[in-house]
Structure 1
Amino acid sequence: MTSVRQLVCSRSLLRLHKPPRVQTSVSGHGAETRLFSSSSRRGTVMPAWVIDAYGSNGVLRFTKNAGFPIINYPNEVVVKVCAAGLNPLDVGMRGGYGAATLSMKRDPLSIKQSGSEFPLILGRDVSGIIMECGLDVKYFREGDEVWAAIPPWKQGSLAEFVVVSGNEVSHKPKSLSHTEAAAIPYVATTAWSALVNTGGLSKDNCANKRILILGGSGGVGTFAIQLLKAWGAHVTVTCSQNAERFVRGLGVDHVVNYTAGPVEEPLSALEKFNLILDNVGGDTERWALNLLKPWSGAKYVTLVTPFLQNTDMLGIADGMMQTAATVATKALKHLVKGVHYRWGFFAPSGPALDEIRDMVDAGQIRPVVEETFNFSQVPQAFEKLEKGHARGKIVVQISKAGDEL
């Protein structure tokens, strides 16, 4: 049965490219046309952590004068940020990782000058309260508590307010605080995209499938474990000895300690797998695909791809050509061996978060928060994230839900 969310979203998508309302004013210098948004009445600046150039932690700068987000399209909402989650991607983006591709996504026609993305606000996870809705938003209203994963080409959540698309946002789980909720959206939609969209798994076909997660104690890994166990899969993970008890507490069936020696040896002794989710990369491709059941539709899905690195180094056109050649060569090489090689990517999705919300409220998935920082401690939060080996997510508390909207 088609849900209300699906009906509303399908109608909103038809209006997605509808131009925003404009109003024209006449001054001594002639007519001036500007985007109309009622959010302009709220003020023009807000507190935020920004970067003005790519670099190390020293480029992070706190300002009370960041530009207030404006609704430019009728399917957008303004969210008052209560909590923001950090991800390894934020550290990469701070240093310029993916800058070429993200700049093209922000400005496809290359109209703006180089560096026009600055000041740039990082942060991909948000949990907060809707303070304003665009003209075409029907599924949400002001005052709704929501969560979302923000695409990396948009301004992020390390700010008092952020704008997101109605197709990216979802009602927050009622059972979670904003701090807990901010630990889930980005890793959840990344894992969902890899396992469901790319891997073809679902709650209806996952029972008794054997899944291997390489790198199971990080944000994506901890979410994937819980999702797959809720769907009835048999889950094996690799992690350090220190994290073994932690991942077992999430319900995994078998753990291989990578600090005890090469993991390919103990993994090769196990029954072969239906799907492998690779969060590690490196030389794992050399041996991991041999762990799959051949000629059974088995898939290897890696989240560690050279796509952004290629476009950063070679430019958009040459980088995309190199990327296409690489993935095609690898896919063909392994297809003749009876297994499917795939790349997985983050994909923002409000409907996916709707389903995940229901699983959270049903007690099937819980947030895994490594550490919480105050808004004034964003540089320290990045330092913690850079150290790696985190078990779960780093969350920054921006404001309290009871603050004046």
Structure 2
Amino acid sequence: MLAMTINTYGPAEEVFQPSNIPTPDIRDDEVLVQIKATSVNPIEFKMREGYGRRVFSKKRGFEFPVALGNDVSGVVVKTGRKVKHLKNGDEVFAAPEVTGQGSYCEYRAIKASHCIAKPKGLSFEEAASLPYVTMTSWSALITKPKLCPEDYRGKKVLVHGGSGGIGSFAVQLLKAWGAYVATTCSTGKVEAVRQLGADQVIDYKQEDFSQLLSDFDVVLDTVGGNQEAPSLSILKTNGKSHYITLVFPALANIDQYGFLRGAFKTIKTFLGKKKACKKQGIQYHWGMFSSSPEALEHVRQLVENGKIRPVLDRCFPLDQIAQAHSYAESGQATGKVGISIAQ
């Protein structure tokens, strides 16, 4: 099958190349999906540069050439003998756990339990913009803090980076759950983010969110940087508030120091921050992607009920994956950058 692969780490325009790699075989509990569309997530262009190479190489068990990519939207073309709920021709979307080759290619073998019916009324490209951000947001907002959607009703939540792929999705998800949502973004994207339903949009280039907000219940930080201390300052100190960040040094530490030293430094950092926040009456969490069919099914229903819409800035064909990565990295996009896979 055709795939856009990398043979080394580096800039997008230097490392991507077309390759002919084997179409994957499927196991008894898997389906083979003909991929119609995927999308670009920040983790993918970071991986392309070598970020997390120690962990991902061990976890995925791959050798170059590698097809990156997480999101899948496509059609089932083959089913394993134990698969009962899917059949050839079914349109599905998914972001399976990261093993083997990714989605910048024509076919992918996926556990059937991870595939959910593509939302009605969405194009393959629109559907492909949702799985990875859905499950990252779910992990951060539900799994890590041990909350459920109903817990957000009436709560005040700040989402940093409301114009990004995860931010633009999380704003809509939280509004669907009944939260009051404030978010930050740059000047040129304020109106677009407001149209997503945010109750308060703060232009971080001209305003200081920590001077405008107080008594919040949750902060979801999708951008990192120097946001942590001012974010903690706006949270309630009743022991029930949560600071959740998606930007933390676990993979970078392992890349730099190796598995043992890197893991030790990471755990030490995390426990220190968690302990300090607990003294302030704040619960501290690191959020990360985790494949969850439950989350994807939940969001599929919200999409079909008009509560969430995909935010797709633009699409590129698969053979322009380098341009897609460069555009996504530039920060110009609002929402996601899609990849169409013509076959």
- Could you tell me the TM-score, scaled by structure 2's length? 0.96
Q: Name the residue aligned to 1:302.
A: 245
Distance in structure 2 (CA, Å) of the matches to 1:200 and 1:390: 32
1:222-250: CA deviation from partner (whole Å, max 9, x where unpaired) = 11111110111000001111111011101
* 1:363 lines up with 2:341 in the alignment: no
Q: 1:187, 1:125 → 2: CA distance?
A: 9
Percent sequence identity is 41
Q: Which residue of 2 aligns with 1:376?
A: 319
SS in 2 for 1:167: helix
1:56 and 2:2 matched: no
Moved over 6 A (4+): none
User: Contact (CA 8 Å) 1:167, 1:349: kept in 2 or not?
Assistant: no
Q: Which runs of 5+ in 2 are unaligned?
A: none
Letter in 2 for 1:294: T
Q: How does 1:107-256 map to 2 (within 5 A)?
A: 107=61, 116-256=62-202
Give the alignment of 1:73-112 within 5 angstroms.
73-107=27-61
Distance in 1, matches of 2:208 and 2:182, equals 16
**Contact 2:142/2:149 (CA < 8 Å) preserved in 1?**
no
> Is the 1:75–1:134 Cα contact (8 Å) retained in structure 2?
yes
- Relative contact order, CA 8 A, sep 6+: which one is greater? 2
Secondary structure, aligned partner of 2:150: coil
Deviations 1:198-241 (A, max 9, x none): 13343322211000011111010011111110111000001111
Offset at 1:106? Answer: 2.8
2:2 corresponds to which letter in structure 1?
P
Q: Distance in 2 between matches of 1:276 and 1:216?
A: 12
Shift of 1:154: 3.3
- The DSSP-based 3-state class of the residue aligned with 1:336 is helix
Structure exhibiting the larger radius of gyration computed from Cα positions: 1
CA distance in 1, matches of 2:83, 2:264: 38
| Whole-Å separation in 1 of the counterparts to 2:41 and 2:71 | 8
- Corresponding letter in the other structure for 1:222: S
RMSD: 1.4
TM-score (norm 1): 0.82
**CA distance, structure 2, for counterparts of residue 50 and residue 162 of structure 1:** 14
* Equivalent of 1:312 in 229, 232, 255: 255
- Residue 296 of structure 1 and its aligned partner are, at CA, apart by 4.0
Give unmatched runs, 5+ long, in structure 1: 1-45, 108-115
What one-letter code is carried by the residue in structure 2 that aligns with 1:157?
S
Report if the CA contact (8 A) 1:375-1:397 is conserved: yes
Letter in 1 for 2:286: W
**Whole-Å separation in 2 of the counterparts to 1:389 and 1:273:** 29
Structure 2 residue 285 is the aligned partner of structure 1 residue 342: yes
Q: Secondary structure at the match of 1:89?
A: helix
Is the CA contact 1:166–1:350 (under 8 Å) kept in the aligned structure 2? no
